[in-house]
Amino acid sequence: MEIKLEFVRKRSEFGRPCSFSDYLAEVTVDIPPDPSLADNFIPQDPVDFAFQEGPVMALHEVNTERVQVSIKGVNHVEGGWPQHIDPKNSELTSRYREEVEREDAYTRSVQRLGSLVEHYIRQNNAIDIYEEYFEEEEEEEEEEEHPSAKTISVIRDPNVTKRMATHISWHPDANRAVAVAYCSLDFQDSRKDMSFDSYVWDLEKPYSPELTLKPSSPLVTLEYNSKDWHHVLGGCYNGQIVYWDTRKGGLPVEMTPVELSHRDPVYGACWLPSRTGTECFTGSTDGQVLWWDIRKMSQPSERLILDITKEDQLSKALGASALDFAPAMPTKFLVGTEQGTIISCNRDSKTPPEKIAHIFRGHLGAVYSVTRNPFFPKVFLSVGDWTARIWTEELMDSSSIMETKYHTPYLLDGCWSPVKPAVFFTTKSDGTLDIWDFLFHQKEPSLSLKVSNDPLLSLRPQDNGCILGCGSRRGNVTLLEISPGLCTMRKNEKTLTSTMFEREARREKVLQDKHRERLLREQERARARPEEQEDPQEVFKKAREDFFSIIKAERRRRGQDDPEE
């Protein structure tokens, strides 16, 4: 069945507009109310209504155009020379200067400018525009601040098999990076999957290394070249010396042959301030100090055997466990040995035995660190066994002029503050960092901070003295920021420190002279007395009586102190 709807209209009515007209109202349906239906309704109580009186807000997002930043450099070249003069040729430039200085125009220009320069120099000398009027009040406020330190970052060994952070070296360019040597110093440590790599870390990205150094043997020490920042020197566990150019990647540029290198781990490596910036020297526990030139590392340029008997025999040499070199004393260097002896060496001496200038004895164990004071190069700090000691080269073959107390844990590293002459830092085997300021406290550290649960093996401050890097046995390098009072030099601090060192040196010299006088008197008495041979039995009997008398006296003293016992 088909359903259709037909609509018929004339063609003329298609599209015809509608015409509306007024029409009166009409009631179509009228339903009256029914009261009986009211019972079926349920009243709603209470009734909630919500009103929003706030203005209507609209959210819009705008994506601004990204600024493209580019790094550009400017190369300043010496100019002002004629075309026929090469600025790099010193002979041509000096000859041209002499010709110009002979001209009358040069003389007139210097005379005319000289009066102007003299006027402004006198004006600057009359008024100091940089004078600080309230410097003393600022210092008083700083003195009230208590010493403190806080951890700002922790750099961790990225390998699963953890190794020791044995040495730290800061980048010479504003300390923007730090090089860390990783090595296991445990005897015959043969753990599987142990990496040989060491790393250079960018402080802004401490979670991944900036450069991975790949030596042939684990690195014990690592040092940046202060003259050429791209050169890094490393001393290996097998005795080899390696150097890198960081612009060429992590593979070594050159390394020393095994047969001509050290026979033991290299615990010290220092760059020398030569003209070329390529010379260095290293020290090892095999008893040798070797000089190298990285342009020719096939063999050492010089050798010194640390034989204090001056017989120049390697079998009698002392093993070097620490090495220090200060540019202020370019011919001298210090060597700390495993036997607790510190050797002061002079490279300018003619024969190798004469290069061992002076010997300092005082430590009972190995010397882990020896560093010169940056303000007083003749004063140096040594760390070994349970103490840190301060020495002076003005008193030869004598004991230290100052020392810390004996600690329960071992002291493993130490260094001076680069900005305060009387402040130095020490690390201990219980993971504690001690900051000493001998101008204020000589018996206790100014600040003792628990950095790690593992022993702290390495320590190195930045050039500004405010940031410290501490390397632990687990390979973690903790960066600490110390309070301004410990890294800001106060007024007359250098003078006070110098006076303190001189006073202690005089005191030590007086004690040394008295000790020598007493030894001479005892020798004279021994010569004047007839030789008497004491009976060993009598000596043993007397010692036994003295021993038991001391014990009885101690028991009586304890009984008087504690009546209950």
**Could you report the per-residue pLDDT of 167-205, keeping only the tens digit for each?**
999 988 877 889 999 988 887 777 788 888 899 988 888
- H/E element holding 460? strand 456-461
pLDDT of 395: 79
Q: What are φ and ψ of residue 92, in 5° steps?
A: -65, -40
Residues 490 and 178: their CA atoms lie apart, in Å, by 29
SS3 389: strand
Between 5 and 296, name the one with better pLDDT: 296
327-364 pLDDT, tens digit each: 888 888 888 998 888 888 888 887 877 888 888 888 88
Residues 164 and 195: their CA atoms lie apart, in Å, by 12
Residues 521 and 455: their CA atoms lie apart, in Å, by 48
Q: Residue 400 pairs with which residues in a beta bridge?
A: none
Question: Which residue, chain included where needed, has tokens 């090595």?
Answer: 183
**CA angle (227 as vertex; 246, 238 as ends), nearest 5:** 55
Residues 369 and 475: their CA atoms lie apart, in Å, by 19
Q: Could you tell me what percent of the chain has a pLDDT over 90?
A: 4
- Check pLDDT > 80 for residue 533: no
The residues, ordered by sequence, that sit 6+ positions from 505 with a Cβ below 8 Å of its Cβ are 392, 394, 395, 401
pLDDT of 470: 92
Q: Is 46 left (phi over 0), alpha (psi -120 to 50) or beta?
A: beta
How many Cβ atoms are within 10 Å of 293's Cβ, its own excluded? 16
Compute CA distances 197 → 211, 262, 406, whole Å: 10, 20, 37
Question: Which residue, chain included where needed, has tokens 């009546």?
Answer: 563
pLDDT of 565: 43
361-405 pLDDT, tens digit each: 888 888 889 999 988 888 899 998 889 898 888 877 667 888 888
Confidence of residue 425 (pLDDT cuts 50, 70, 90): very high
- H/E element holding 140? helix 135-143
73-95 pLDDT, tens digit each: 777 666 778 877 877 788 888 88
Least confident of 39-48, 297-306, 335-344: 39-48
Here the tokens at position 532 are: 């008497």
The residues, ordered by sequence, that sit 6+ positions from 254 with a Cβ below 8 Å of its Cβ are 242, 243, 294, 297
Question: Which residue, chain included where needed, has tokens 């110390």?
Answer: 482
Residues 249 and 509: their CA atoms lie apart, in Å, by 54
pLDDT of 529: 66
106-148 pLDDT, tens digit each: 888 888 898 889 988 888 888 777 777 776 555 554 455 788 8
Q: Residue 325 pairs with which residues in a beta bridge?
A: 333
Q: Is the dihedral of CA 70, 71, 74, 75 positive or negative?
A: negative
Residues 280 and 266: their CA atoms lie apart, in Å, by 13
Here the tokens at position 212 are: 């991975």
Residues 349 and 356: their CA atoms lie apart, in Å, by 9
Q: Is the dihedral of CA 337, 343, 348, 351 positive or negative?
A: negative
Compute CA distances 122 → 125, 126, 166, 265, 545, whole Å: 5, 6, 55, 60, 85
Confidence of residue 562 (pLDDT cuts 50, 70, 90): low
- Domain architecture of the chain: domains with CATH: 151-512 (2.130.10.10)
152-177 pLDDT, tens digit each: 888 888 888 888 889 999 988 877 88
How many Cβ atoms are within 10 Å of 205's Cβ, its own excluded? 10
Residue 145 CA to its chain's centroid (Å): 23
Q: Is the dihedral of CA 73, 77, 83, 89 positive or negative?
A: negative
CA nearest neighbour of 233 among 167, 224, 302: 224
